[in-house]
Structure 1
Amino acid sequence: MNPALRPVHKQRSFASLRAISALVLREMATTNGRSANGFLWAIAEPVGGIILLTAIFSLGFRSPSVGTNFAIFYATGLVPFLFYLSISGKTAAAIQYSKPLLAYPAVTFMDAFLARAFFNLVTQVMVAYLIFTVIYFTQETRTDPQILGIVLSLAMALVFALGVGAMNCFLFTAFPWWQFAWAILNRPLFLVSCIFFIYDDVPQPFQYYLWFNPLVHVIGQMRKSFYPSYAGDYVSPAYVFGVGFVLLGIGLAFLTRYHRDLLNS
């Protein structure tokens, strides 16, 4: 390698780091407001959803599909789902959100993408930690949380979310109509990701089709990590990581090839 190129590479690395840091600070100020109230709302929203679902379903059912505690059962489904939904949605809007800043040579589309991914990853990890900790220490859950299994579930959700986010980041900018189409297509996802029930209770042939939903595996892995008696043999981390990395590679390839055209359109 030519030694003369090294300083240029280092300068570009530091420039990207500074750009990402600035974009993260901008994200904090604009997304959650300049006070703590906005950030608290990011935590209160999933907590409120779990409380509401617990109250509704406890009226109609004696016990959840696994275990005896409704709150932890729905938390193991809702937390990874919202984890995916937040990161995929925010990264998908990275170019649209930062388009004025991308006119500057010092800021690239990758800086904007990574900044949104990092900020929302940290936020959602804090949300997951607080929700699980509060439920575990305030209620009788009869669960045995396995940290490595929980981390694996969130890692699966992260890779899949980044893949979907990268693809939609290109598609939303190149084809504005796709954003509305995606919103319609995405609505049933809440009902077919095994948040309210477990995969094992779904009859055939629907069980076969549900298997191809990566979020079913993400949520199944999360429940395996809390309930020692739940086998979850259908869970395939390799499938989720494979789908996520393929989508991420294709999305970034399109963004790299066409991002200048998208910015000038």
Structure 2
Amino acid sequence: MSGITFPSMKKTAPEKGKPRLRPVHKQRRFASLRSIGALVLREMATSYGRSPGGYFWAVAEPVGGIMMLTLIFSLGFRTPALGTNFAIFYATGVVPFVAYNNIANKVANSIRQSKSLLAYPAVTFMDAMLAKVFFNVVTQLLVAYIVFTFIMVTQDTRTDPQILGIALSFLMAFTIAIGVGAVNCFLFSAFPWWQQVWSIITRPLFLLSCIFFVFDNVPDIVKPYLWFNPLVHVVGQMRKSFYTSYQGEYVTPVYVFSLGLILMVIGIALLQRYHRDLLNS
């Protein structure tokens, strides 16, 4: 028995010159990070690389649009529902709305716009979605910073911005945007007609998200229905963060986060199950 050596007891040294293999999960993680980085650079190049100024226009376009609308509506509405300055009142509503709308639309079209790249095994649909989220979240935060800073510096807004409250509002907006975008990413690819339907049914959203008014002033008969619009809570949280005297008791972050996460799970589950069929269709 002393001359028998069991395989489990035999010590073997690694062959010289043969590299050790890294764990598969680490390789996949680094590959995903490289893919996401490449997709972010591709987004910048394809969207703004051909125009002079490049990424500058990714920020300048929404900033210019928001500032133009702010100026126009400031001339027509002298007295806002909160405070004394209409520009900051309008900005606290339209900035988070634009952030939601932009990210939701970009995520919804992430698979269709990256369809050629998703044919490669190294690139997954999650890489495409995360690249869209990262690029557009950074862009929308820059837009918000420029718009709010410009208004605060040039006008007497009589507001006291609270950074943590503003961050919470944006986190709510990003969560619901990614959730809606994930579900629509599947629906837009599986049923192309749904994009036109979605565009029609969400067109009144700009007026129904309390951008021009506050939820407290809505007639009681409408309040129970309007409350279910998650953007009402996003805008309400943003205004609570600028107007310290505004209570905004209707704002329920748990509702927005829960709805956003549920939609994310549903959207990702559908894409995980059918993304190959969508790419081949």
Question: Is 1:100 aligned to residue 113 of structure 2?
Answer: no
Mapped to 2, the partners of 1:62 and 1:183 lie a distance apart of: 31
Contact 2:118 2:125 in 1 (8 A): yes
- Cα RMSD of the aligned pairs, angstroms, is 1.6
Q: Deviations over 1:120-175 (max 9, x none)?
A: 01100110111111111111110000000000000000000000000000000011
Partner of 1:251: 267
Question: Is 1:163 aligned to residue 179 of structure 2?
Answer: yes
Q: 1:139 and 1:107, CA in 2 relative to 1: closer, same or farther beyond 3 A?
A: same
Q: What is the one-letter code of the residue matched to 2:153?
A: F
Q: What is the one-letter code of the residue matched to 1:220?
A: G
Mapped to 2, the partners of 1:41 and 1:257 lie a distance apart of: 37
- Unmatched tracts of structure 2, length 5 or more: 1-19
Q: 1:188 and 1:35, CA in 2 relative to 1: closer, same or farther beyond 3 A?
A: same
Question: Is 1:129 aligned to residue 145 of structure 2?
Answer: yes
Contact 1:50 1:71 in 2 (8 A): no
Q: 2:95 aligns with which of 48, 59, 79?
A: 79
Contact 1:77 1:219 in 2 (8 A): yes
Partner of 2:129: 113
Report the alpha carbon displacement of residue 34 of structure 1 after superposing the two structures with TM: 3.9
**Number of aligned positions between the proteins:** 262
TM score, norm. by length of structure 2: 0.89
Mapped to 1, the partners of 2:41 and 2:63 lie a distance apart of: 25
Q: 1:243 and 1:40, CA in 2 relative to 1: closer, same or farther beyond 3 A?
A: same
Q: 2:202 aligns with which of 152, 175, 186?
A: 186
Q: 1:56 and 1:5, CA in 2 relative to 1: closer, same or farther beyond 3 A?
A: same
Question: Is 1:31 aligned to residue 47 of structure 2?
Answer: yes
Mapped to 1, the partners of 2:133 and 2:73 lie a distance apart of: 33
Q: 1:204 aligns with which of 215, 220, 234?
A: 220
Q: 1:252 and 1:135, CA in 2 relative to 1: closer, same or farther beyond 3 A?
A: same
Mapped to 1, the partners of 2:65 and 2:89 lie a distance apart of: 13
SS in structure 2 at match of 1:37: coil
User: Which structure 2 residues correspond to residues 171-182 of structure 1 after superposition, within 5 A?
Assistant: 171-182=187-198
- Unmatched tracts of structure 1, length 5 or more: none
Which of structures 1 and 2 has the bigger CA Rg? 2
Q: 1:185 and 1:38, CA in 2 relative to 1: closer, same or farther beyond 3 A?
A: farther
Contact 2:63 2:146 in 1 (8 A): no
Mapped to 2, the partners of 1:162 and 1:103 lie a distance apart of: 23
Q: 1:144 aligns with which of 160, 165, 170?
A: 160
SS in structure 2 at match of 1:145: coil
Contact 2:71 2:87 in 1 (8 A): no
Mapped to 1, the partners of 2:212 and 2:60 lie a distance apart of: 20
Contact 2:240 2:247 in 1 (8 A): yes
Mapped to 1, the partners of 2:154 and 2:264 lie a distance apart of: 39
Report the alpha carbon displacement of residue 38 of structure 1 after superposing the two structures with TM: 5.0
Contact 1:46 1:78 in 2 (8 A): no
TM score, norm. by length of structure 1: 0.94
Question: Is 1:20 aligned to residue 45 of structure 2?
Answer: no
Report the alpha carbon displacement of residue 35 of structure 1 after superposing the two structures with TM: 4.6
